[in-house]
DNA sequence: CTCAGTGTTCAGTG
DNA sequence: TCACTGAACACTGA
């Protein structure tokens, strides 16, 4: 469930399925990669703990428990939370989840609660990670993150300063989690499109007007996506999101402008030359 | 069979 | 330190 809106959706699911409940049993899948940070034996420490809250910064998601260690989740490219009876999101690059199947395919950890409820993390591609932290906010990876656009968007002035300090290409800067935590490939392309900025421009070359516009659009896109619970079919019709996939040469925006696909910083970048300068 | 894909990290270069 | 590249990780679905 990779970018900020999808992770926030996961946080909300966790809030309703786990917050206030005591963990009765922890089941770990046999997966040395996803458990590279902390072994299943260490996860046993969660048994008997109560979940106080589900927290998020950028794409990192963790639980505040009544005692450490606190579990910290990263969904990678294809991870997410599931609860019995939920309706799973379909990701552009994710597996097909069958709602009726339980436990879901690719489950990595199952948290069983005292009331019989359950919360599961799934991850088909195994690029996600499960960590345990004494103080999640104070330690890496969370401590290394930049601002969260939903929780702590910098002032227009500060945002422009941050851009002015970097010579890197703007698309790459937006993907840097130490700059804007939670922005991923489609959000970066979406906001550059909506702000009318060529993704190949250098960050420090944007003027104050462009910086201001980019910041406003970043907030607008993230707030909108979160407000519809990351269900992409509810994103506004005009968004590039709906038309950026597939790398077809004939791709066009809702307005009829041609969409080009190039590579920037190793990531596919969809952009609209007629609109982005 | 091949390859792209909502991500991160690390090694190496300049 | 910064900017950038390439590779690695891993696996599904088109």
Tell me the pairing of strands A118-123 and A79-82: antiparallel
Output the pLDDT for position A248.
Answer: 86
Output the pLDDT for position A185.
Answer: 96
A90 with A166, same domain: the answer is no
* Beta-carbon count within 10 A of A11 CB: 18
The last residue of a domain, from among A89, A124, A144:
A144
A253 with A184, same domain: the answer is yes
For the entire predicted model, the pTM comes to 0.96
Q: Which of A2, A5, A69, A88 is catalytic?
A: A2
A241 with A128, same domain: the answer is no
Task: List strand C contacts in A 186-205 (CB < 7 A).
Answer: 202
A59 with A120, same domain: the answer is yes
Output the pLDDT for position A267.
Answer: 95
Point out the nucleotide closest to A97 (alpha carbon to C1′): C12
A164 touches strand C (CB under 7 A): no
Whether A59 is catalytic: yes
Please, what is the end-to-end C-alpha distance for chain A in angstroms? 31
Output the pLDDT for position A231.
Answer: 95
The phi, psi pair for A24, rounded to 5°, reads -95, -30
Which residue's CA lies closest to nucleotide C12 at its C1' atom?
A95
The last residue of a domain, from among A118, A144, A170:
A144
What residues make up the domain containing A9? Answer: 4-144
A160 with A140, same domain: the answer is no
Query: For the purposes of burial, counting CB atoms within 10 Å of the CB of A273, is it exposed (0-12), middle (13-18) or buried (19 or more)?
Result: exposed
Give pLDDT < 70 ranges for chain A: 1, 93
Number of residues that this document lists for chain A: 277
Domains in chain A: how many in total?
2
């Amino acid at each position: 469930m990779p970018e900020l809106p999808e992770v926030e959706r996961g946080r909300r699911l966790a809030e309703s399925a786990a917050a206030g409940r005591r963990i009765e049993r922890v089941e770990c899948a046999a997966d040395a990669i996803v458990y590279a940070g902390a072994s299943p034996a260490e996860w046993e420490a969660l048994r008997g703990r109560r979940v106080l809250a589900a927290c998020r910064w950028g794409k990192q998601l963790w639980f505040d428990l009544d005692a450490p260690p606190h579990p910290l989740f990263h969904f990678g490219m294809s991870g997410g939370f599931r609860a019995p009876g939920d309706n799973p999101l379909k990701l552009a690059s994710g597996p097909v989840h069958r709602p009726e199947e339980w436990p879901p395919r690719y489950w990595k950890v199952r948290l069983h609660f005292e009331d019989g409820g359950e919360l599961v993390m799934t991850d088909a591609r195994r690029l996600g990670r499960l960590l345990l932290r004494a103080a999640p906010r104070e330690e890496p990876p969370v401590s290394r993150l930049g601002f969260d656009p939903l929780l702590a968007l910098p002032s227009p002035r500060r945002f422009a300063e941050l851009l002015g300090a970097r010579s890197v290409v703007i698309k790459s800067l937006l993907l840097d989690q130490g700059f804007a935590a939670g922005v991923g490939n489609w959000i970066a392309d979406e906001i550059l499109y909506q702000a009318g900025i060529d993704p190949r421009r250098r960050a420090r070359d944007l003027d104050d007007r462009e910086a201001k516009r980019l910041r406003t659009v970043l907030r607008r896109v993230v707030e909108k996506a979160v407000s519809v619970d990351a269900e992409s079919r509810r994103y506004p019709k005009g968004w590039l999101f709906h038309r950026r996939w597939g790398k077809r040469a004939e791709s066009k925006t809702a307005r009829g402008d041609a969409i080009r696909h190039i590579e920037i910083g190793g990531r596919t970048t969809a952009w609209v030359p007629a609109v982005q300068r």
